[in-house]
């Protein structure tokens, strides 16, 4: 729980920093962190949560060092400590995650375990690129790859429950290789970001075609909710990739906000919404019973993102839509947290009853 608290602190201030970047009035501590929005969200929040999930799965005490380091790295940013301190902590945290992933591969060498190791390596590469260049922009493709490849690896594991398709694994490898090749090429040419977008598009199409969510969407209750979260997230991944093919990943491009947040909000947080009722009970040892109210934050997330992207694409006077959409994004995340907390309390009440 203390590690989750560190992650949630970075999430709250990271969201506030993101709103400050849109010109929204936020408390001074969040406004001062506007330049570290991506680092807070990806390294301090997702690095902590994903590292904690892996530590629980590994069951080794040393694995908890990773989320502890990333959580402290977030605190270092919040406290205004010299930037190399936070960068060093994130590098060390990603090294722990890579080490844990390698241990899993040695225990079970499979395409999905190797994919998870590649995802962890992307986080390390992004952290090293940021520390070496001093520019957070160099890390963005690698950080996005960290999240997308990690999620793809976790979803790939579940395809074992479906009939085997001969073409699925080669197509998956091609999509991952294209994504990584684009991230590498982005160091040398802006065309690398286009290749990166092509890899993400291929991966989104693979997930839409081969993921078990297509079958689970016909079920009921929590299974259906999770499936719809996933499928809607894959659609946003495809949308972000298409915007990226139009140049949206390039720094300073008018479509950059739309491209990045279609993936980081529409895809990644749809995955969070869908997996939270399963992952958080495993991490925090609490019950999160399903309720149809779970759909409210999901619907608000998607609608608010449509408004945000419309504002970003429109430019000029449409900038007000961008800010409105951003504030609604933040409210969707808050509503999700409140919904999960309410479900935990309801589960405890039912347990005592």
DSSP-derived 3-state class of residue 248: coil
Flag whether pLDDT at 179 surpasses 80: yes
Q: Tens digits of per-residue pLDDT, 276-332? A: 888 777 666 777 788 899 999 999 999 999 999 988 776 655 578 888 999 999 999
Flag whether pLDDT at 134 surpasses 90: no
Number of residues in the chain: 353
Q: What is the torsional sign of CA 280, 282, 284, 290?
A: positive
What is the reported pLDDT for 318? Answer: 58
What is the reported pLDDT for 282? Answer: 67
In which element (H, E) is residue 251 found? none
DSSP-derived 3-state class of residue 286: coil
Q: What's the mean pLDDT when you consider all of the chain?
A: 90
In which element (H, E) is residue 45 found? none
d(CA 204, CA 142): 17
The model's confidence at residue 161, banded by pLDDT at 50, 70 and 90, is: low
Q: What is the DSSP string of 78-135?
A: HTT--HHHHHHHHHHHHHHHHHHHHHHHHH---HHHHHHHHHHHHHHHHHHHHHHHS-
In the block, residue with structure tokens 């659609």 = 235
Flag whether pLDDT at 46 surpasses 80: yes
Please give the average per-residue pLDDT across 243-250, as a whole number: 94
d(CA 184, CA 81): 30
- Cβ-proximal residues to 213 (8 Å cutoff; 6+ apart), any chain: 155, 207, 226, 227, 230, 231, 234
Nearest Cα to Cα of residue 123 among 30, 19, 49: 49
Between 92 and 218, residue with greater pLDDT: 92
Q: How far is CA 226 from CA 67, 82, 99, 153, 285, in A?
A: 25, 41, 30, 17, 20
Q: Tens digits of per-residue pLDDT, 184-239? A: 999 888 899 999 999 999 999 999 999 888 888 888 888 999 999 999 999 999 99
């Amino acid at each position: 729980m203390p590690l989750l608290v560190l992650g949630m602190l970075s999430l709250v201030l990271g969201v506030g920093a993101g709103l400050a970047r849109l010109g929204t009035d936020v408390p001074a501590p969040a406004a001062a962190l506007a330049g570290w929005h991506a680092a807070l969200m990806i390294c301090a929040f997702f690095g902590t949560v994903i590292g904690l999930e892996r530590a629980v799965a590994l069951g080794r005490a040393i694995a908890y060092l990773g989320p502890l380091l990333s959580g402290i790295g977030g605190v270092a940013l919040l406290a205004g400590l010299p930037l190399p301190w936070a960068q060093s902590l994130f590098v060390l945290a990603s090294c722990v995650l890579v080490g844990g992933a390698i241990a899993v591969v040695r225990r079970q060498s499979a395409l999905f375990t190797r994919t998870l190791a590649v995802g962890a390596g992307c986080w390390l590469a992004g952290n090293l690129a940021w520390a070496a260049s001093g520019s957070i922009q160099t890390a963005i493709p690698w950080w996005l790859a960290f999240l997308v490849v990690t999620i793809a690896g976790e979803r790939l594991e579940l395809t074992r429950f479906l009939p085997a398709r001969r073409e699925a694994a080669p197509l998956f490898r091609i999509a991952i290789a294209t994504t990584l090749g684009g991230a590498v090429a982005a160091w040398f040419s802006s065309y690398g970001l286009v290749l990166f977008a092509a890899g993400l598009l291929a991966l989104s199409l693979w997930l839409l075609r081969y993921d078990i969510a297509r079958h689970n969407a016909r079920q009921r209750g929590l299974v259906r909710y999770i499936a719809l979260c996933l499928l809607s997230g894959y659609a946003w991944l495809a949308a972000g990739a298409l915007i990226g093919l139009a140049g949206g990943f390039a720094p300073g491009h008018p479509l950059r906000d739309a491209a990045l947040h279609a993936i980081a909000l529409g895809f990644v947080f749809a995955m969070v919404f869908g997996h939270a009722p399963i992952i958080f009970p495993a991490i925090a040892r609490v019950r999160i019973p399903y309720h149809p109210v779970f759909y409210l934050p999901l619907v608000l997330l998607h609608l608010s993102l449509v408004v945000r992207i419309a504002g970003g694409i429109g430019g000029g006077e449409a900038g007000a839509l961008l800010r409105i959409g951003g504030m609604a994004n933040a409210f969707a995340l808050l509503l999700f947290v409140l919904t999960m907390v309410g479900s935990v309390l309801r589960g405890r009440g039912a347990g005592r009853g």
